[in-house]
Amino acid sequence: MKKQISLLALLCATSGVYAESAPKNVIYMIGDGMGPAYTTAYRYFKDDPATKEIEGTVFDTILKGMAHTYPDDHTYVTDSAAGATALSSGHKSYNGAIAVDTDKKSVKTMLEIAKERSMTTALIATSQINHATPASFAAHNESRNNYDDIANDYIDNKIVGKLPVDLMLGGGTQYFIRDDRNLVDEFKAAGYQYGDDIKNLGQITKIPAIGLYAPKGLPFALDENPTRLTQLTSKALNLLDDQNKNGFFVMIEGSQIDWCGHANDIACAMAEMDDFAKSIEQAKAYVDKNKDTILVITADHSTGGLTLGAHGQYKWETDVVKGVKATAGKLTQLLLDADDLKPVWTANTNIEFTTENQIKLEQAKKMGEKALNLAVKSIISDASFTGWTTGGHTAVDVQVFAYGKGSEQFIGSQNNTDIADKLIGFIEK
């Protein structure tokens, strides 16, 4: 499939709209797996039950349109790699592709274009920083699973003689410090500061820098640090603002919304949504102080087939979701290690430890970790009337949010490639 360019993007480019309204800075935020049901669920999750009105969230204040997510593959359902390639370059590709087209030839990304124009570039994620979405902005590979090669690209893929990414914050030490190659030492030799403790973000004081805070992805928000992406976002924007002669491009990913969706873990997903929403509020506040900045937020796809209301009942119980204090994975481990399940269950949920639930958990525990994990999630989903249709992705359109200079160009129904085309048009101003 050839690259598709929207009529709106073409008209804007030929009429000089980009030249007149192009922002200096681009903040691009991607909620991995964050389909419309997630932002709706988050609104109800955050609602104050003491008031009759259902309060809006930051998402409601900046909603602009919808985007189509299909890949250039034999399916309508995209994966994160093809989705991110479309969002980074304006090119549709096959599932698994990291900034390459269907012929496996490299396609130029907006981060690379920004670097060519001497803008400061940054990638922030709660996954490993060489995971599919961030990778599709700064690397080129036929497979998202080639993690070591993708990490190598971050230092080998020179653009106008420079490293592609000036600031990287996320996880992934096992891919950057390997027996065959220590990329962290290479980054240090290239003048990068390095930090490895998210509790001490002060280790990094200037750009260029790389911060790797977990072997792979960071711990889930619900299990350990509920605002780790918010903290990384704040740190990144402060650093970028300090070094902003020629403008900056930053991609910030709420990576683990997707991981919770794959797990069909609603409490996990809402904790990730909360961290992502607070990160958006940080970015929105930056735009308020810097009017020459555009903030665009979207998703690569939706995950899990999340529905609010299940089993023929017209309700979705947010109190149940709010009462869960650990991810299903962590709760499963706690139950596996416990002789008495009731204290663990009641300490981590507000769901009654009924005889039925006791029997279900005890029988599942005898069958092993996988069965127990499924039982935990089943009880939570049933009690909250949360529905799931899959452990994979779905093909539904996703929402597009925008704020700041040029945000009006993202109104309406559009292809995911249109989002990239418009942002590239800004960068190429």
Catalytic residues: 80
Residue 291 phi, psi dihedral angles, 5° rounding: -65, -10
CA–CA gap between residue 127 and residue 134 (Å, rounded): 9
Residue 95 phi, psi dihedral angles, 5° rounding: -60, 130
Residue with tokens 């992934």: 172
Which spans in 290-354 are helix H? 318-322, 328-336, 341-348
* 2 burial via Cβ count (<10 Å: 0-12, 13-18, 19+): exposed
Q: What DSSP string runs through 169-230?
A: EEE-HHHHB-SS-BHHHHHHHTT-EEE--GGGGGG--SSSEEEE-SSSSPPPTTTT-TTHHH
Which spans in 26-172 are helix H? 36-46, 58-61, 80-89, 110-116, 132-138, 147-156
CA–CA gap between residue 36 and residue 29 (Å, rounded): 16
3-class state of residue 412 by DSSP: strand
CA–CA gap between residue 92 and residue 370 (Å, rounded): 36
CA–CA gap between residue 84 and residue 66 (Å, rounded): 16
Which residue in 231, 120, 202, 132 sits closest to 165, CA to CA? 120
Structure tokens that stand for 109 in this block: 């990304």
3-class state of residue 76 by DSSP: coil
The H-or-E segment that residue 413 falls in is strand 412-415
365 Rama sector, left if φ>0, alpha if ψ -120 to 50, beta otherwise = alpha
**C-beta neighbour count of 104 within 10 angstroms:** 13
